[in-house]
Amino acid sequence: MTTDPLDALRLPVVPVDPRPEFTAALLRRIDGHGDLVDDEPITFRYFVTDLDAAVAFYRDLLGFEEELRPSPVFAMLYRGDLRLLLSVPGGHGAGDALPDGSVPTPGGWNRIALRIGDLDRTVAELRGKGVRFRTDITTGITVRQVLLHDPAGNLVELFEPGGGYHERTRGGTIG
């Protein structure tokens, strides 16, 4: 073993703040999924029967903004970083029948869950505007939540965080 003569000139290793969130985000990024695209809006698609009624519902009652409505069978809305695609079954594109002949329909149980500051007030307000709810407010695990119907029968979950609520904290530096 030879000693590197430059060792004497090297600066001492200075301990730095580990910034765990930054490190975790960096490691996640290095760790794989390089083919998956980050920094994009989160996209969710609902099927609806009446596009005008659906756009009005998500825009006027749930705070989405209409971004595009290029055809009578498709609309794109935004609510912060959530991009909502509304497709009419049987239309071109995502509304098309599958190879096995099945045609998409509204409904089912999979859904977006929107975080609300004051669930009681929001529910009272939405009830006043004629929104149909599938449940009353229930207390789940660390959240209070409620399920409402859109005009096509899709479910949307509204929730208000309670004690023990968990959400991954983001450093804000990456991602």
Partner 1 sequence: MSTVTVRYFVTDLDVAVAFYRDLLGFEEELRPSPVFAMLYRGDLRLLLSVPGGQGGGAPMPDGELPAPGGWNRIALQVDDLPATVDELRGKGARFRNDITTGIGVRQILIQDPSGNVTELFEPLAAYHERSSNAR
Q: How many residues bind partner 1 (CB under 8 A)?
A: 65
Nearer to partner 1, 15 or 88 (CB): 88
Q: Please give the Cα distance from 151 to 86 (Å, whole number).
A: 12
| 36-47 burial: b if 16+ Cβ within 10 Å, else e | eeeeeeeeeebb
For the chain, the distance separating the N- and C-terminal CA atoms, rounded to the nearest angstrom, is 44
Binding residue for partner 1 (CB under 8 A) from 2, 13, 98, 163? 98
**Interacting stretch for partner 1, rule CB under 8 A, among 1-9, 14-22, 120-128, 151-159?**
151-159
Nearer to partner 1, 61 or 106 (CB): 106
**Interacting stretch for partner 1, rule CB under 8 A, among 10-18, 54-62, 123-131, 132-140?**
132-140
Contact 21, 62 (CB under 8 A): no
Give the tokens for residue 21: 């969130």
Q: Please give the Cα distance from 166 to 113 (Å, whole number).
A: 14
Interface positions with partner 1 (CB under 8 A):
28, 32-33, 35-47, 67-68, 70-71, 74, 76, 78, 80-83, 85, 89, 92-94, 96, 98-100, 104-115, 134-136, 138, 140-141, 143, 145, 147, 154, 157, 159, 166-168, 170, 175
